[in-house]
Amino acid sequence: MALVTGVSRRGAIGAAIARRLAADGARLVLHGWSPHDAAQPWGDDPGGVDALVAELRAGGTEVVALTSDLADPAVPAAVVDAAVGAFGRLDVLVANHARSSAQTLEDLTAAELDVTFAVNTRATLLLVRAFAAARREPGGRVVLFTSGQYHGAMPGELPYIASKGALHQVTPSLAVHLAPRGITVNCVNPGPNDTGYADQATLGAVAAAVPMGRWGRPQDAAALVAWLVSDDAGWVTGQVIASDGGWSARSGT
């Protein structure tokens, strides 16, 4: 049974993860918060979650969808409790959610820093804590998501990269702490991923710079997540893995 957060648009990474885990036979609890997308330049996907749930159920997957704001400190534990209540257990946590914010140093506000850290960093840590507490037997899989801030400067997104950098750095510590219980913790950097947010000029420029000649697709990140939560990845923990077609390898970092 898997809980996947950050599922609000059918064309984004969370939905791709849900489809891939469903194809692998998982029962799913999907969590999203569409008001965040509605406030972004790319917009939300009205009816998208309902359509995704219907699609997955038509394929035979048992799936439940939840919506709530992870900026509320009580929500992470409530989401895990709801997941366990839905299916009686929780084996996999994929913390794919993210709050985006375009603020440079000159634009930076305390309010945006606070809410971005609350959603991206605090909520993720509280989700992991609740997941670990809910496990009554050895084993389990946790997958976090970072971004490309450790491969190149992103000065226009300071709250976002600060919060994502924290998740990158905390991954080894969580992995070591949970390893005696057989729970693996890894972190994915999906690189430039075409989820519908980039304009045509950006799409072309980035594709030309990626060694493999294209943007990442949500399915690429989903394939890596599917492997990390599988039995085959039971010996892999504490790792931050870039799935980016060689984007990060250009500078040798």
Active-site amino acid positions: 160
Using CA of residue 105, residue 200, residue 99, residue 112, what is the dihedral sign? positive
Helix axes 123-134, 75-87, angle to 10 degrees: 40
DSSP run (H or E) holding 240: strand 240-242
Closest CA to 145 of 68, 45, 222, 51: 222
Q: What is the DSSP string of 43-70?
A: ---TTHHHHHHHHHHHTT--EEEEE--T
179: Cβ contacts below 8 Å, ≥ 6 apart: 237, 238
**Cα torsion angle, 13, 185, 25, 61, sign:** negative
SS3 209: helix
Residue that has been written with the tokens 């394939």 in this structure: 223
